Amino acid sequence: MTTSIKLRILPLIVSAALGAAAFAAQAQPLEPVLAQAKQHKAPLLETLKELCNIESGSRDLEGLDKVANLIAGRLKALGGEVQLVDVSNDIYRMQDTPEKVGRVVRATFKGRGTKNIMMLAHMDTVYLKGMLEKQPFRVEGDKAYGLAIADDKQGIATIIHTVAMLKELKFDDYGTLTVLINADEEISSPGSRKLIAKLGAEHDVTMSFEASRSNSDKLSLATAGIGSVTLDVQGRASHAGSAPEKGVNALYEMAHQVTQMSKFSNAETGVKMNWTLAKAGTNRNVIPDQAQAEADVRVLRAADYDNIERQVQERSAQKLLPESKVTAVFERRRPPLEASAASRALASHAQAVYREIGRELVVDPVAEGGGTDAAFAAQGNSKAVVERFGLQGFGAHTKDAEYILVDSIEPRLYLAARMVMDVAAGKVK
């Protein structure tokens, strides 16, 4: 090789070496943050034990108050300006909405920067009072079990300890760091949805802390919108043995309606509509004069609600029994979370952060069927909203098999803290 060729190639070699070195440096974990994540592993488990040992079903106002006070106290001790917000006076009414819902815990941390970040989780559960004894908190190997530990007590604990880590690291380069823990997520957030949407529009980034799957270390860019159909049929009662022809059988009409609306699901668009509940009649020997059925609806795009609602209303007018009265009520319970450019950028940055500790993070752009409050935070704006910043978990809504992976605590705490730091520093583009 001639000297001139060597001189031309040398800068390329040096540049490549510097680039590799820079990449290696970038891929190294921030040791103080990693050390804090390790230190908070055992305390986070203790926090989970406290949270799981308080029953807080969506309609258990006493239990919700207990857990809200616990959360508020922890966030106040970390320096937050804490409010317990009563959202019952501005409720979005659905057929199963209670008169009153639990209070929202809102904690505000003021920093020296300009970026506003919200961390979101919920304290309410699907469990009925008295079920705690069936699923006490316990740790078995790499699994910690508990009532609602995955959905969503882990999200609360992860947020509390992320804030604690930032405080111990003396990091406050954000503008406003908001923690919002609501108490009505499992009943479609009728009271808290407006507050979540308002704050989502006011923050640059929303990190929602529903659990990741135990078999997939991931974040989600999309969640399903949730709707429902309630079908009420009125007929006319009559003796089933001596004069059935004088009756109008509401059960027959309901069965007809359910059957003709059984194929509204569409695999191409991701729309799912499934009939899940039905009831009719009062006695075996009476032609039933009333019947009711309910369907669960899932959509991936807000626009899909219009089409399926139109189909339901049009088809319900096509009756089997002309003398029956059929009413179909369509409810839009929760909007879908649709992936935005800002959300994709945030999730991509999270993948780079996770590689600092030698882990790969899956970013899922397709909704799995579940709905979350992250969708309210993204409603009407194009801000970055990403779901599943919580721990890896499994068995949500099960009576005795709900758990989180203990080994996911350190990496997820590292990820959450580092993301707050990088967003605050303007590193997420």
Position of tokens 């659905």?
Answer: 94
In three-state secondary structure terms, 267 is coil
Catalytic residue, from 55, 60, 184, 185: name it. Answer: 185
| Cβ atoms of residues 156 and 126 within 8 Å | no
Neighbours of 15 (CB within 10 A): 10
**Nearest CA to 333 among 370, 368, 287?**
370
Instruction: Retrieve residue 219's tokens.
Output: 């974040």
d(CA 72, CA 66): 10
Hey, which bits of 125-260 come out as E strands?
138-140, 143-145, 176-182, 205-208, 212-213, 218-220, 225-234, 238-239
Rounded to 5 degrees, φ, ψ at 23 are -65, -40
Active site residue 124: yes
d(CA 69, CA 195): 19
Burial level of 418, CB count in 10 A (0-12/13-18/19+)?
buried
Residue 1's identity, in one-letter code, is M
Catalytic residue, from 55, 60, 124, 338: name it. Answer: 124
**Nearest CA to 123 among 163, 80, 153, 158?**
153
- Catalytic annotation, residues: 124, 185
